[in-house]
């Protein structure tokens, strides 16, 4: 698939990641190790992923 401009690819990537995240939650395939990895990435990058952690708590 040829993309004439990078700005066309960004929304496609966002939709793909959203659907992928939804399917992961739907299949309940999130483990404690995945949450620990997310927390490590959060600490390393210095960002607060409060919304994602709140969603993951319901499915772990």
What does the mean pLDDT of the chain come to? Answer: 83
Prediction pTM value: 0.57
Count how many Cα atoms sit within 13 Å of the Cα of residue 30 in the half-sphere of its side chain. Answer: 20
Q: What is the mean pLDDT of residues 28-57?
A: 83
Output the pLDDT for position 3: 66
- Rounded-to-10 torsion of CA 24, 29, 57, 22: 10
Task: Give Rg (Cα) of the chain.
Answer: 14
Q: Which secondary structure element, helix H or strand E, spans residue 31, and what is its range? A: none
Q: What is the mean pLDDT of residues 38-52?
A: 86
């Amino acid at each position: 698939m040829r993309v004439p401009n990078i700005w066309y690819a960004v929304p496609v990537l966002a939709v793909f990641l959203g659907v992928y995240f939804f399917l992961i939650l739907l299949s309940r395939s999130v483990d404690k190790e995945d949450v620990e990895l997310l927390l490590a990435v959060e600490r390393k990058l210095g960002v607060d992923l409060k919304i994602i952690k709140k969603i993951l708590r319901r499915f772990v």
